[in-house]
A and B are shown apart, each in its own frame.
Chain A
Amino acid sequence: MRIEGYGRVDRDVSLDFSFDGRRFAGHPGDTLASALMAEGVVLTGRSFKYHRPRGVLTDTSAEPNALVTVGRGAGRDPNTRATVQELYNGLEARSQNRWPTLSLDLWAVNDLAAPFLGAGFYYKTFMWPRAFWEKLYEPIIRRAAGLGALSGEADGERYEKAYAFCDLLVIGAGPAGLMAARVAAEAGAQVILCTEEPRFGGRLLAEAEEVDGQPGHLWVAGVLARLRGMDNVRLMPRTTVTGAYDGGTYGALERVSHHVADPQGAPRECFWRIVAQRAVLAAGALERPVAFGDNDRPGVMLASALRGYLHRYGAAPGRQVAVFTNNDDGHRTARDLARAGLNVVALVDSRHDAESLAGEVPFFPGWQVCGTQGRRRLSGITLRAPDGRRDVLQVEALGVSGGYNPSLHLTCHMGARPVWRDDIAAFVPPAAHVPGLTVAGSANGAFTTYGCLTEGAEAGAEAVRVLGFRAEVADNIPQANNTPNRLRRLWAVPGRGRAWLDFQNDVTVKDVRQAAAENYASVEHMKRYTTQGMATDQGKSSNVSALAILADATGRDIPETGTTTFRPPYSPIAIAAMGAGGQGAGFAPERFTTSHEASLRRAAPMVEAGLWYRPSYFPVKGERHWRPACDREVRMVRDRVGVCDVSTLGKIDLQGRDVGRFLDCVYANTFSTLKPGRTRYGLMLREDGFVMDDGTTARLAELHWLMTTTTAAAGQVMRHLDWVKQAYAQGWDVRFISVTEQWAQFAVAGPQARDLLNDVLDAPIDNLGFPYMANGAVSIGGTRARLFRISFSGEHAYEVAVPSRYGAALWDLLVARAEALGGGPYGMEALNVLRIEKGHITHAEIHGRTTAHDIGMGRMIAAKDCIGRTMAGRPGLVNDREELVGLRPLAGGTLTAGAHLFAPEADPVRENDHGYTTSACFSPTLGEERALGFLLNGHRRHGETVRLVDHLRGIDTLCEVTAPCAFDPTGGRLRD
């Protein structure tokens, strides 16, 4: 019901919404919870385990009960707290964890079985037979117990991540936060003020209270107007600071467009990383309930929430209400509700010496509420007098207050533990916690408005003074209520019926006592045994009460019992927000060569090589899969000429007087002797002696060198060079920089390679002037270019490089000329076959566990010292190694990569393993399958027969062991 004259919703505008298909109406400014309450809907959900009817408990983000699914389709949003969800026109919400409907939930049979389903039930009952857990018990339990579900489809909504920086981050915008922000901003600091609510003001918007002689919400409006007018203040509503991390970094979730029907492209949520020099935590405090029999009936709420719904939304769950409290604050609820014209039938205060602060309201000092009546909503409460006499009152709503817990969670995110304050019966932040963070107001245990204003101002001033700003506090604190809240602790009312502590996980007082009885006496064990404090609310309304009861049951005091660990996030964050931008192709950058579009025009399928995209083959008419295309491209290169984009290989430009010596250090073989205009193959070792990468380095001029790396290891090699330079070559004249992207480079390979090049080069080359392994400057149409006579295919081949701007044009030119000669472009598949025929290695062979010796290049490191040389000589890296060999089938059959090698007569089991294959292909040149692999002592076993077994693919082939190089072993074709 709505209460006339109360609330700050816009009653002139009506918003339609639905809950479980029923149509309702609310107003702008409502939350889903307040709108449902105003429409008389009290039952909002079913509990996790027993499917008990539950209603709204709080008016905050700590809500354990009123979880709903908002929206439909792929992007539906489960476990949305109705207390946080703002109302918009057309909002569709559905209840969760019920079947078939919320009011008739057949799973509620669990509640009848409750005596058997207490703490530890699953552990005790479903232990055996062991296999039944995963297949039978767990699926059934999961169906019966649970929260809302995702759609299972990809969420098409936009999410976002962002960074922000400030001098002072103020977390919370109640009286303390507003004062901290104002004082710091007036001092000139860059301030970010976050509130998890849509409006700034915190509790001042939910109380009938004066600040500075005016109603609280008007004082808030004044401060806000001032902050809005300052360009050093950033106001972030709907933003929950969720975690404190190293270096003054805070995580925060901004709910950007959950409050509108159509975001029109705006993100749903934004996950912020805020880096703050200083921060003030002014997150307030959360009221805690008192446990008593059947205290989970819909209509039983926190007293502060009952008051909050009245003042904020003009909403109440019924006309007949009562309040049960152990502190003065509960009296304010009774007072305010009575003033609003509700029939407050009882103010029950467990303190026998309490005095009523609620005027005419019937007052029951020393009494307690020990039970409730009703099923799907509250219809009455049972009171017990100090002398044991009982009374039953008809009520529709009951406000309960057991005191307040400061919201100190963030202070514990880096390992600090809160400390117990007996006077307020609550944990407060310890003296030292998160560096740079101070706590002010209720979050610090200051429970009066004046205390909040004062602490906030002081914390704000102190924080920015440390940063060098001049901040004034004196005479700046507005007049406000400063009456302390008196309280006498009461955690649970003894008596019959289940007294609920954790509403979200269905944990009762009895469960906690049971855990203690079974010696789960540490608070962390109790939590895991009972599930208290888990799930979306993380026990915000139950943690302290539960551990107080545990303390009592184990005969310890509360500080000794301690709390469980608070970890980020403070409240739930969608993974979609933290991973924003990372879906699909957004996971990593894509790198494209200059010939990419041309390859796509030829319908070449792309393969990923690191971040690069490279064409795997270039199908021509009639070729329906890769093999015919690959075979054709291989023959084309062997017989005519082929063109391949090799720009993706890493290119590192090195200059300086000490480059030769530097290269001798990083390469296993010698480079300092290389003459300008010549190129050499090199092998690079890791410090541990294993092979890291290979490639060629060209000496372009006396002091100018160009190193190439494999595509995949370009970054690793660059990092390695940086390390070698800083660790071993300090002061040497060596300078290097990546030029991978500067040059578009194309391999031109085949018997007609030189004919093709002479077609496009401004000055022709010949074998004498440009022999194998030569390099030099050339020009194409006046464009400066570099030419290298190197070959991966084993053919007479070159690589020609031009500045990348000309890459696309040169590719088109080379391909057109190649086709005129009966050749054309070739892709990764053909490239791979060509090199397997030649026994050339790739990272399939130098996979991180092979040494120079293993790949037959052991002699390379004999000449001089180099990185990795000493470690390569370790015992175990020298003798009885699996060594690189070639393999061909003896009498047909298939060869695969990843197969294992055995002696022909041996059983193909692990114990008899003699090695494995790394690369395999059909060689169109040789007309048979060929493979490369590593075989125990393989260098000495050429000519032997081995058995290749691929258990995964069911392949068993007898092979002849050969040298790795199967085609043109003398290399005559390279030099023609």
Chain B
Amino acid sequence: MTDLIARSPAFGLTPVAYGATTLTEGPWQQLTALMPFAGQTARICTALQDAYGLNFPAPGRLTRAGHTTCVWTGRGQAFLVGSEPVQDLARYAAVTDQSDAWVTLDLTGEQAAEVLARLVPLDLSPRAFGADHAARTLLGHAAIQLHRLENGFRIRGFRSMARTIVHETADAMAAVAARAALD
């Protein structure tokens, strides 16, 4: 019988490290887009609460419970991350598998925010972009999803753009590290 071998989106591209900043491929998790049907947002919240103990996130936010996250990704749309979608969800929302569509990259280290300041046009200071914030934004020219990790940021970009995203991030990391050496 045929056996297809799976390859991760950032295969061969990471890790990248400059100074104390590192870029690694994030955990390969189940990603499921949830788009509640008309008038079903309350029901989807109940279903999410029952199954995972979290709510459908408000715009620009994410919700967390245990190893499951629900990340706002657009108008009437959120990604359920880290858990299989329970059957019930499809009754109230369009459910779409997105697990293979995105490359997940974790940028960590003290200068992670400094690196992203070169690429992302958002205020990523803790007071403006906290642990429960989530954004659809740009990294250079690439459209991404972004939220915080304990010691950095999680970047989710189009799988096909993995090479560009890693390259541009690595470039910014190199520049930030070189600047630090200059002072």
Contacts and interface: CB of A to CB of B under 8 A. Distances in A.
The answer on A and B forming one complex is: yes
Interface of A: 158, 160-165, 190, 256-257, 260, 263-267, 273, 275, 581, 586, 588-594, 611-612, 653, 655-656, 731-733, 735-743, 760, 762, 780-783, 802-810, 813
7 contacts: A265-B178, A273-B121, A780-B2, A805-B9, A806-B5, A808-B5, A809-B5
Contacts of B7: 594, 805-809
Interface in B105-158: 117-118, 120-123, 125, 128, 140-142, 158
Given A586-B168, A594-B7, A741-B160, A160 B118 contact: yes
A735 B37 contact: yes
Contacts of B159: 741, 804
Contacts of A781: 1-4
Interface in B1-24: 1-9
Contacts of A275: 123
Contacts of A735: 35, 37, 76, 93-94
A570 B32 CA distance: 49
A655 B9 CA distance: 27
A809 B123 CA distance: 41
A163 B122 contact: yes
Given A742-B100, A743-B100, A263 B4 contact: no
Contacts of A164: 117
Given A160-B118, A581-B171, A808-B7, 12 more contacts: A265-B174, A266-B175, A266-B182, A275-B123, A586-B168, A590-B164, A591-B164, A656-B94, A735-B93, A737-B94, A760-B2, A813-B4
B179 interface: yes
Nearest to B28: A805
A190 B121 CA distance: 18
Contacts of A260: 182
- Complex A-B, nearest 7 residue pairs according to Cβ-Cβ distance, in ascending order: A265-B178, A781-B2, A735-B94, A655-B94, A165-B123, A741-B101, A591-B160
Given A266-B182, A737-B94, A783 B4 contact: yes
B4 A806 contact: yes
Given A266-B182, A588-B141, A760-B2, A163 B120 contact: yes
B97 interface: yes
Contacts of B3: 781-782
B33 interface: yes
A256 B181 CA distance: 12
Given A653-B96, A762-B1, A165 B128 contact: yes
Nearest to A591: B160
A762 B2 CA distance: 8
B178 A804 contact: no
A589 B117 contact: no
B98 interface: yes
A741 B125 contact: no
A259 to B, nearest CB: 9
Contacts of A161: 118
- Of B35, B102, B182, most A-chain CB atoms within 10 Å: B182
Contacts of B77: 737
Contacts of A783: 4
B164 A264 contact: no
A737 to B, nearest CB: 5
A165 B120 CA distance: 12
Interface of B: 1-9, 33, 35, 37-38, 76-77, 93-102, 117-118, 120-123, 125, 128, 140-142, 158-165, 168, 171-172, 174-175, 177-179, 181-182
B38 A733 contact: yes
A805 B171 CA distance: 27
Contacts of A267: 175, 178-179
Nearest to B103: A741
Given A158-B175, A590-B164, A781-B1, A656 B37 contact: yes
A735 B73 CA distance: 14
A210 to B, nearest CB: 31
A45 B118 CA distance: 37
B164 A256 contact: no
Contact of B101 (A257, A656, A804): A804
A592 B163 contact: yes
B96 A804 contact: no
B125 to A, nearest CB: 7
Contacts of B123: 163, 165, 275
A546 to B, nearest CB: 40
Contacts of B121: 163, 273
Given A162-B118, A164-B117, A256 B2 contact: no
A593 B100 CA distance: 12
Nearest to A161: B118
A586 B159 CA distance: 18
Given A590-B161, A741-B159, A813-B2, A803 B100 contact: yes
Contacts of B5: 806, 808-809
A459 B4 CA distance: 67
A803 B171 CA distance: 30
Contacts of A273: 121
A256 B98 contact: no
A591 B4 contact: no
B178 A737 contact: no
Contacts of B120: 163
B103 to A, nearest CB: 9
- Of A163, A736, A760, A813, most B-chain CB atoms within 10 Å: A163
Given A591-B160, A612-B160, A266 B181 contact: yes
A845 B9 CA distance: 35
A739 B118 contact: no
Given A589-B140, A592-B160, A256 B168 contact: no
B40 to A, nearest CB: 9
- Of A742, A781, A783, A806, most B-chain CB atoms within 10 Å: A742
Contacts of A593: 160
B165 to A, nearest CB: 8
A840 to B, nearest CB: 25
Contacts of B142: 589
B161 A256 contact: no
Contacts of B165: 589
B37 A733 contact: yes
A649 to B, nearest CB: 13
B182 A591 contact: no
Nearest to A759: B2
A735 B3 CA distance: 34
A264 B6 contact: no
Contacts of B2: 760, 762, 780-781, 813
Contacts of A256: 179, 182
Contacts of A591: 158, 160-161, 164
Given A165-B125, A739-B96, A780 B4 contact: yes
A732 B39 CA distance: 11
A590 B163 contact: yes
Contacts of B76: 735
Contacts of A782: 1, 3
B148 to A, nearest CB: 16
A145 B106 CA distance: 54
A742 B100 CA distance: 5
- Of A256, A267, A732, most B-chain CB atoms within 10 Å: A267
B162 to A, nearest CB: 8
Contact of A263 (B101, B122, B182): B182
A589 B172 CA distance: 15
